[in-house]
């Protein structure tokens, strides 16, 4: 079984998360016949030949990056490969409901586009604290740390996917 973890990342956060997800899947894969590759979407010519896709993008301007959407529509949609998506957003958990709803709407459209079986939104990281005017617009508290990543949540999600894959390989009849 071949798994592709593909991501796009502007400031390195989604890349680090993708690599961690890849490590967890690889650790499980070592017990079975699961081969895991982690790569930026730019380096993925085609998704053919993979049995499962785990795809990640950050949110910028309340949407996934346009290149991610393009990747989904040109390379993933219609492939019928089981797909899970992870989205990285700084504001989703702690920003105003208005922004949260905008992000949710975009993420839902992305899930439909890709035909993904699951989508998860994880808290991300900013290069530094948000200035006061931005906190006012986004509704975030002053003491919010720039790095909001919850590694326990990310790892639990990856473990859940890994557990499901190990089960499915265990029940796949050997021909
Ligand atoms: C230019 C820019 C725009 C952003 N816009 C949003 C946004 O609209 N909503 C949000 O929740 N987070 C936003 N963020 C925060 C990113 O989602 C967060 O920093 C994420 O961890 C970045 O991932 P990356 O390092 O993989 O690019 C923005 C960050 C940058 C740099």
State the Cα–Cα distance between residues 110 and 63, nearest whole angstrom.
9
- Domains of the chain, with CATH numbers? 2-171 (3.40.50.360)
- Going by alpha carbons, the residue nearest to atom 2 of ligand 1 is 60
Tokens of 118: 């699951």
Strands 2-7 and 52-60: parallel
Handedness of CA 162, 167, 170, 174 (dihedral sign): negative
- Going by alpha carbons, the residue nearest to atom 5 of ligand 1 is 60
Q: Please tell me the predicted confidence (pLDDT) of residue 30.
A: 75
Q: Please tell me the predicted confidence (pLDDT) of residue 174.
A: 52
What is the residue-level pLDDT of the chain in tens, covering all 175 positions?
999 999 999 999 999 999 999 999 999 877 778 899 999 999 999 999 999 999 999 999 999 999 999 999 999 999 999 999 999 999 999 999 999 999 999 999 999 999 999 999 999 999 999 999 999 999 999 999 999 999 999 999 999 998 887 677 665 555 4
State the Cα–Cα distance between residues 7 and 44, nearest whole angstrom.
10
pTM of the model as a whole:
0.95
| Ligand 1 contact via 100 beta carbon (within 6 Å) | no
Q: Which atom of ligand 1 is nearest to the CA of 59?
A: 17
Ligand 1 centroid from CA 155, angstroms: 21
| Ligand 1 contact via 56 beta carbon (within 6 Å) | no
- Going by alpha carbons, the residue nearest to atom 20 of ligand 1 is 124
- Could you tell me which of 1, 8, 24 has the C-alpha nearest to residue 157? 24
| Ligand 1 contact via 81 beta carbon (within 6 Å) | no
């Amino acid at each position: 079984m071949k798994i592709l973890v593909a991501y796009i990342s502007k400031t390195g956060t989604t890349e680090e998360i993708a690599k961690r997800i890849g490590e967890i899947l690889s650790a499980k894969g070592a017990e079975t016949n699961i081969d895991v590759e982690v790569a930026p979407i730019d380096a993925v010519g085609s998704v053919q030949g993979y049995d499962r896709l785990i795809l990640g993008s950050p949110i910028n301007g309340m949407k996934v990056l346009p290149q991610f959407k393009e990747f989904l529509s040109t390379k993933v949609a219609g492939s019928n490969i089981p797909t899970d998506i992870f989205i990285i957003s700084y504001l989703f958990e702690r920003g105003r409901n208005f922004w949260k709803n905008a992000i949710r709407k975009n993420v839902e459209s992305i899930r439909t586009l890709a035909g993904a079986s699951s989508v998860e939104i994880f808290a991300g990281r900013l290069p530094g604290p948000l200035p006061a005017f931005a906190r006012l617009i986004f509704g975030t508290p002053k003491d919010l740390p720039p790095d909001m990543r919850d590694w326990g949540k990310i790892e639990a999600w990856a473990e859940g996917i890994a557990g499901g894959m190990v089960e499915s390989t265990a029940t796949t009849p050997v021909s």
